[in-house]
Structure 1
Amino acid sequence: MSLGLFDQFMSPSLMGLPLIVPALILPWMLFFPPHSRWLNGRFSTLQGWFISQFARQLLMPLNKGGHKWAVVLTSLMLYLLTMNMLGLLPYTFTPTTQLSFNLGFAVPLWMATMIIGLRDRPTTTLGHLLPEGTPQPLIPMLIIIETISMWIRPLALGVRLTANLTAGHLLIQLVSTAVFTLLTTASLTAVLALVALLLLTTLEVAVAMIQAYVFILLLSLYLQENV
């Protein structure tokens, strides 16, 4: 049975049972919750330092009203980061390559920021639709453009994460296929392709971390406009 390039993005199954649920639960199993009777080891200390530094950097521009989102944004950051990194391992499935999965995070969280803004600061939130000093003939057009731009935000969040991870996975598969194909015909070219594959894998690790951070950073910016 020949496999296509996009078969790696299909939901996996074993003996007819879907494995999407274990794939979604696995990232949380890698983080151990703190316990009062446990001594902090190197991993738990490093984990706590990373979380505190990330939360401080993320919430620094926000006022006190936005600090209530610290647990949600930090947990989502760790979840997306771990899931993206696990997806780079062989014989694994990356749920964040699915647009529906990413939109399931982007749309509700973006909508929550908008509801908070309309509830607490309706004038400021609606004021983003019309920049100050706009000429009167351009007011209707700018309101329409800004409204469309506002509603596209959650779609852009999901598509950005999906497109970057999907493109990286496809490039890795194409280059690895070329390496195996050229091993018997052009060994030197295969070695060069293998070096390119290693560099591409390193780049994809960086992309997996950066895209998780960008997803949360944009959510925090949307929250900053409404709190």
Structure 2
Amino acid sequence: MMTSVSLFDQFESPVLMGLPLVIISLSVPLILYPQLTPQWLTNAYSAIQSWFINRATHQILLPLSPAGHKWALLLMSLLVYLITINMLGLLPYSFTPTTQLSMNMALAVPLWLATVILGMRNFTTRSLAHLVPEGSPTALIPILIIIETISLFIRPIALGVRLTANLTAGHLLIQLIATATFALMFSSPPTAMITVILFVLMTILEIAVAMIQAYVFVLLLTLYLQENV
């Protein structure tokens, strides 16, 4: 008897001996990066990693004032962590935790809320002034306050949904193309070769998407922080 397999089964956390493997997926990035040592000479991997982190830190902190540079360690740790998780999720028999909206919201909401609290504590008047655009008619101020408040609370939802939707769509397309390749392998080999090429191109695109979406997630947090420092 054949059992039906859903395309969304790949987004369920695999379980081995009753233990969810998502715990391993979340902890693996901590093992891949070398620890600090007193040695002056490092290997090529550490040198490339340091160069990437320095360049990314420069780009992300460029629009921030010096007060926002205190967030450098947090933002770069988040960027490297998201990139690693997204990339590891493309390996066979692996799991991508960032395809789960619950995890992405658990990252987005506290960080967004921290930027809002920071702005309210240090620049209360300026933060509240963002709710009313300059030059707004007096009659429209109540409506504008409601709209700006809603847009403010939508920000963390947009962060989490954007990351989840982009990674989920890419994984679904890869699985669809792979399924078509296996189905056409014996019935139509020339067509199967075309789907193999599409599969390789889609995998390369998904690698780029995994890196870009992690960068966009951190960049948007930086823009929210810029408004509150």
SS of corresponding position for 2:5: coil
* 1:32 corresponds to: 34
SS of corresponding position for 1:57: helix
Tell me how far apart the structure 1 counterparts of residues 190 and 144 of structure 2 sit (CA, whole Å).
57
* 1:206 corresponds to: 208
* 2:195 corresponds to: 193
SS of corresponding position for 2:195: helix
| Pairing 1:62-77 to 2, within 5 Å after superposition | 62-77=64-79
* 2:86 corresponds to: 84
* 1:162 corresponds to: 164
Q: Deviations over 1:29-80 (max 9, x none)?
A: 1001220036211111111111111111111111111011000000000000
Letter in 2 for 1:182: L
Task: State the 1:11 CA deviation.
Answer: 1.0
Q: Deviations over 1:76-125 (max 9, x none)?
A: 00000000000001110000000000011100000000000000001111
| Pairing 1:87-98 to 2, within 5 Å after superposition | 87-98=89-100
After superposition, the CA RMSD in angstroms is 0.9
Task: State the 1:15 CA deviation.
Answer: 1.4
Q: TM-score, normalised by structure 1?
A: 0.98
Q: TM-score, normalised by structure 2?
A: 0.97
Q: How many residues align?
A: 227
* 2:45 corresponds to: 43
SS of corresponding position for 1:193: helix
Are 2:105 and 1:108 aligned? no
Are 2:10 and 1:5 aligned? no
Tell me how far apart the structure 1 counterparts of residues 193 and 62 of structure 2 sit (CA, whole Å).
47
SS of corresponding position for 1:183: helix
Letter in 1 for 2:211: M
* 1:15 corresponds to: 17
Runs (4+) off by over 4 Å: none
Please say which of residues 13-22 and 141-150 is displaced more in the overlay: 13-22
SS of corresponding position for 1:36: coil
Tell me how far apart the structure 2 counterparts of residues 199 and 20 of structure 1 sit (CA, whole Å).
28
Please say which of residues 145-154 and 35-44 is displaced more in the overlay: 35-44
Query: Kindly, what percent of the aligned residue pairs are identical?
Result: 60
Tell me how far apart the structure 2 counterparts of residues 208 and 152 of structure 1 sit (CA, whole Å).
23
Tell me how far apart the structure 1 counterparts of residues 121 and 19 of structure 2 sit (CA, whole Å).
44
